[in-house]
Amino acid sequence: GPNNVSMGELDRIAQNIIKSHLETCQYTTEELQQLAWQTHSYEEVKMYQSKPRDVLWQQCAIQITHAIQYVVEFAKRISGFMELCQNDQILLLKSGCLEVVLVRMCRAFNPLNNTVLFEGKYGGMQMFKALGCDDLVSAVFDFAKSLCSLQLTEEEIALFSAAVLISTDRPWLMEPRKVQKLQEKIYFALQHIMQKNHMDEDALAKLISRIPTLSALCTLHTEELQAFQQLHPETVNVLFPPLYKELFN
């Protein structure tokens, strides 16, 4: 294998990450398939649209925080993650957890009608109108659609999520070499699986080219949160989940 990593080791890494992913997804593939055509009714969408801005922001913050807790659990189960120093574990999660949530979101996105699973049913972009950040919402939907177009398998989503999380691009890592070694193995495993699954030789390159968009979305989210907080400081301080504030504030 590449860089003296044996195929056996790559396979072990892949299996561990796939298992960790499947054990920590909020919904199984079967559950998502069953829900795929259960969409919020016109009245329900209207109800979301007529909510006060801060109420919908709070609801979204709660959903995101919930999803992030599963991502933390995912990270903990990846062999090698808990062997990193605590500083780096926290740093990688702080900077990468929302990116992983966005990658995972493509599982709960229906590209045929551009809807996403939110509070039990699927709904389109217009459902989030009251947030007052159409740019962010439409960028997130575009991203989900573009990731769906790559038709990734559950295994590829698992390995890609791990590759996004365990990244040497994060500033202030204390043991970047250790992170790099782990990341390289994950990429080799991802490459191996993608070569097996896709006729398209550029599939991996296409997938990797989505990473800058992920990071741009997270920056946009932080900016929108700051703008929102200026107008509704009490909502953020009192009503937002503590973990969300800790990560993004």
Partner 1 sequence: KEKHKILHQLLQNSTS
Nearer to partner 1, 8 or 242 (CB): 242
The correct pick among 3, 4, 6, 86 for binding partner 1 (CB under 8 A) is: 86
Nearest to 60 by CA among 136, 155, 145: 136
Residue 199's CB is within 10 A of a number of other CB atoms, namely 5
94 binds partner 1 (CB under 8 A): yes
Closest approach of partner 1 to the CB of residue 187, in Å: 24
Which amino acid type is present at position 84?
L
Nearer to partner 1, 82 or 227 (CB): 82
Q: CA 105 from chain center: how many Å? A: 6
Please count the residues of this chain forming the interface with partner 1, following the rule CB under 8 A: 15
- Give the C-alpha separation, 126 to 122, whole Å: 12
242 binds partner 1 (CB under 8 A): yes
Closest approach of partner 1 to the CB of residue 74, in Å: 10
- Give the C-alpha separation, 210 to 212, whole Å: 6
Closest approach of partner 1 to the CB of residue 13, in Å: 18
Cβ(122)–Cβ(107) below 8 Å? no
- The full length of the chain comes to 249
Contacts of 20 (CB under 8 A, 6+ apart): 74, 77, 78, 158, 162
Q: What three-state secondary structure class fits 167?
A: coil
Q: Looking at 9-17, 75-83, 190-198, 208-216, which segment touches partner 1 (CB under 8 A)?
A: 75-83
69 binds partner 1 (CB under 8 A): yes
93 binds partner 1 (CB under 8 A): yes
170 binds partner 1 (CB under 8 A): no
Q: Looking at 37-45, 85-93, 140-148, 156-164, which segment touches partner 1 (CB under 8 A)?
A: 85-93
Contact set with partner 1 (CB under 8 A): 69, 72-73, 76-77, 82, 86, 89-90, 93-94, 242-243, 246-247
